[in-house]
Amino acid sequence: MSVRISRLGKNTLVLNTPVMNAAGTMGYADEYRDLIDFGKLGALVTNPITLAPRDPANGARVVPLDAGVLVHTGLPNPGVRAVLDTNRDKWGKLPASLRLIAHVVLLSSVEDVRRCIAALERVERVDGIELGLSDEISPAEAEWSLRALISKSEKPILARLPFGAGVEMARACEDAGADGLVISAPPRGVARDGLGRLVSGRVYSPTLKPLVLRLVGQIVRQVELPVIGAGGIHTPQDARDFLEAGAAAVQVDSAVWVAPNRLEWIARDLGGLVLTQPAGALADEWFPSMGMTAKMPAQDKESTDKHENDLD
């Protein structure tokens, strides 16, 4: 199975599996190596990277919500130079089939962002750039910024739209030459922390899925670019809904934190891998050869009996 998530061209991004994590959820490289089989994912999207280092936000950064969480990290990162120094070798050890997408934040000047992207593009292992557009940016500003960045870029640039941005923004990104769209960033919200203080941050929740799904459905009909759906995906069915709506691939966000095996589960499911679970097994007690069951034909009775005997 191969899925194209950027325009056709010299460096078109093609994934083995239409599933990846969302930016900000899995670190910069192999932080989840003990919990997730990276070989089952289509791509790894890094945490946000900026040209200069950024400190973590002050005050409360996490506010638990009903069926969700509000997170305000302040986009802490050590700056692109330190990110490369620390992670270049780790990236080299990731499975070759895994595409590596660096998430760059469009917060500072376009020149700073261009220098950040240029530094990342010099690393062969980086397959593409995901550019996070700020929440306040207008379609005209987005188009202008993207034009300036894309004209000097070698690798595919995916534009991650702010939550709620619609067709106008998507068209602006397409006109500017973006290679793909990610719809969308988590919405911003405000909630009270344990002390009753108001905290602003991004909201992660399974309840966001219907909202983003609608946006994806609207936008894919209006643009030619491949679209990656992102928001509230917690089950394979959630992910399938996005593909049915027209997305080429999906990003899984906070589900990675609360149930890391869900990402692999979704990736296996959408990657055409068959899950086999003996009747009565505990949730993590899957059939031992599950990892090797790529496109396994439907089991006949004899093999089913054998699996049951294996468990005895």
Partner 1 sequence: MKDTQALIERVTRVNDTHQHLHLSVDPSLMSMKAGQSVLAKVNETWTPYLRQQWFPVKLTKKALVVERPAAEPYQPGQVVSLLGAVGQPFRFRRSLRSVLLLAYDTEPTPLLMTIPALIENKIGVTLVLCGVAAKYGTAHLPPEVEIIQGDSELNWQNRVTTIGWADQVFCAAAPEVESVLLARALAVFREVRADVQQAYLFGVFRPPLPCGIGACGACLIKVKGSDPQFACAHGPAFDLTQVGGLG
Closest contact distance (angstroms) between CB of 267 and partner 1 is: 15
> Whose Cβ is closer to partner 1: residue 7's or residue 234's?
234
> Whose Cβ is closer to partner 1: residue 14's or residue 62's?
62
DSSP state, residue 100: E
How far is it, in rounded angstroms, from Cα 305 to Cα 252? 35
DSSP state, residue 196: S
> Whose Cβ is closer to partner 1: residue 67's or residue 96's?
67
> Whose Cβ is closer to partner 1: residue 13's or residue 75's?
75
Closest contact distance (angstroms) between CB of 261 and partner 1 is: 6
Q: Where does the chain show beta strands of DSSP type E?
A: 3-4, 14-15, 19-21, 43-49, 62-65, 68-71, 99-106, 128-133, 157-160, 180-183, 188-192, 198-204, 227-230, 249-252
φ, ψ (nearest 5 deg) of residue 63: -125, 110
Closest contact distance (angstroms) between CB of 268 and partner 1 is: 15
Closest contact distance (angstroms) between CB of 293 and partner 1 is: 20
Closest contact distance (angstroms) between CB of 221 and partner 1 is: 31
DSSP secondary structure string for all residues of 39-96: GG-SEEEEEEE-SS-BPPPSS--EEEETTEEEE-----B--HHHHHHHHHHHHHHS-T
Whether 103 and 23 have beta carbons less than 8 Å apart is answered as yes
> Whose Cβ is closer to partner 1: residue 198's or residue 259's?
259
Inter-axis angle of helices 209-220 and 167-176, nearest 10: 50
Closest contact distance (angstroms) between CB of 277 and partner 1 is: 14
Q: Which of 7, 41, 10 is nearest to 270 (CA)?
A: 41
> Whose Cβ is closer to partner 1: residue 23's or residue 170's?
23
The footprint of partner 1 (CB under 8 A) covers 24-27, 31-32, 34-35, 47, 55-56, 58, 61-69, 71, 73, 75-78, 82, 193-195, 205-206, 234, 254, 256-261, 282-284
- Paired with 273 in beta bridges are 294
